[in-house]
Structure 1
Amino acid sequence: MATLEKVRAKMTDVGQPSSSVDSPALEAELDTVIDANSGISMLLVSTGDGRAIAHRSQNKLDPRRLSAMSNSFLTLGETLSRELGLTTADYVTMSTSQGSMVLVRVAADRTYTLAALGHADTSLAILLYAARDAAARIKPLL
């Protein structure tokens, strides 16, 4: 019975943001990153199982759907990296003629995913640098 109770406790706890997540500070930090990087049109932070916890966007986007897909895409990249015998993937990118997206894993008390969307004229290098910097800045807040 004790094992069943532990499993139930874990199941209800999985995917929930840590009680130590400072949501107002996290949202303020996302604002700061977007204000400092004119090439970024969206930042999205989600839990390791794809639940949105904070986002900033210049477009109308559904953060719940994007969180689930972004986390799945990053997880697929990490899995592919392992299958190839490489170390864990640091990030995953997607580029189109209308812009690029960078997905970065943020390892705090729990795992989180940071998605950063860049405009069409934003170079992938600049977007990657900004996303990795944002991940480092938000990690203490998670």
Structure 2
Amino acid sequence: MSDVGSPSVTVDGPALEAALDSVMEGSAGISMLLVSTADGRAIAHRSRNKLDPRRLSAMSNSFLTLGETLSRELGLATADYVTMSTAQGSMVLVRVDADRPYTLAALGHSDTSLAILLYAARDAAARIKALL
């Protein structure tokens, strides 16, 4: 899925989707990757589950923004990422600072360690940064 045709966002959709495919293929523990704008609009996603990328984009960006705001309020450096862990899996949210800020959400299976998920999410963010 790609909403790349949006007039306010110009992204090389096929290259972005190929990069997401590559990360998904190389990381069996990841069940979803989602790229969205800083205002919560879905740009591209890959998922092994049936999910609504538009709803998840808005919520993911809000959650990451809240983590960044909390970090500033505590007098800490800018948050590099935000995580959520449950018995059924974990999610890592990473800010991708390209020409404009984007959010990358990566969802891992319950048997995927948080360290592996974080590594994959940060690797994905580095790969897609040049495409955004």
Contact 1:105 1:112 in 2 (8 A): yes
- How many aligned positions are there? 126
What does residue 95 of structure 1 align with?
85
Runs of 5+ unmatched residues, structure 1: 1-14
What does residue 16 of structure 1 align with?
8
Separation (CA, whole Å) in 1 of partners of 2:121 and 2:8: 23
SS at match of 2:111: coil
In the alignment, does 2:96 pair up with 1:106? yes
What does residue 3 of structure 2 align with?
none
TM-score by length of 1: 0.87
Separation (CA, whole Å) in 1 of partners of 2:67 and 2:61: 10
Paired letter, 1:70? S
TM-score by length of 2: 0.94
Which has the larger helix fraction?
A: 1
What does residue 7 of structure 1 align with?
none
Runs of 5+ unmatched residues, structure 2: 1-6
**Percent of pairs with identical residues:** 84
Larger-gyration structure (1/2): 1
What does residue 28 of structure 1 align with?
18
In the TM superposition, residue 73 of structure 1 has moved relative to its aligned partner by 0.0
Runs of 4+ in 1 over 2 A off after TM superposition: none
